[in-house]
């Protein structure tokens, strides 16, 4: 089971995936770094999108983006200030 023994392979062949029988010792930290980098990019894109979101027509019902869109957060804050006065 397993396809047999490991055979000799040419050392001059380069592969971006690591070549034959690769098992890097730091794969866990590399995976974590790549995952954290991906999350940072998604977070930055999310913030830019939420700050630039504008609705040309007011929504007729509640939508999830009302929780994080700048347009609705500012309206809610102004409404709370007005209500407390």
Name the CA dihedral angle for 29, 32, 34, 36, rounded to a multiple of 10 degrees. Answer: -140
pLDDT for res 48: 93
Q: What is the mean pLDDT of the chain?
A: 84
| pTM value surpassing 0.75 | no
Residue environment code for 21-52, b if the CB has 16+ CB neighbours within 10 A, otherwise e = eeeeeeeeeeeeeeeeeeeeeeeeeeeeebee
Q: Which residue has the tokens 């006065």?
A: 85
Structure-model confidence comparison of residues 64 and 73, the more confident one: 64
Tens of pLDDT, residues 31-50:
999 999 999 999 999 999 98
């Amino acid at each position: 089971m397993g396809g047999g023994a490991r055979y000799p392979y040419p050392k001059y062949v380069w592969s971006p995936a690591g070549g034959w029988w690769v098992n890097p010792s730091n794969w866990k930290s590399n995976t974590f770094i790549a995952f954290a980098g991906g999350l940072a990019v998604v977070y930055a894109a999310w913030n830019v999108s939420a700050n630039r979101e504008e609705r040309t027509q007011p929504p007729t019902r509640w939508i999830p983006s009302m929780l994080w869109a700048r347009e609705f957060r500012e309206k809610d804050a102004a409404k709370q200030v007005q209500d407390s006065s």
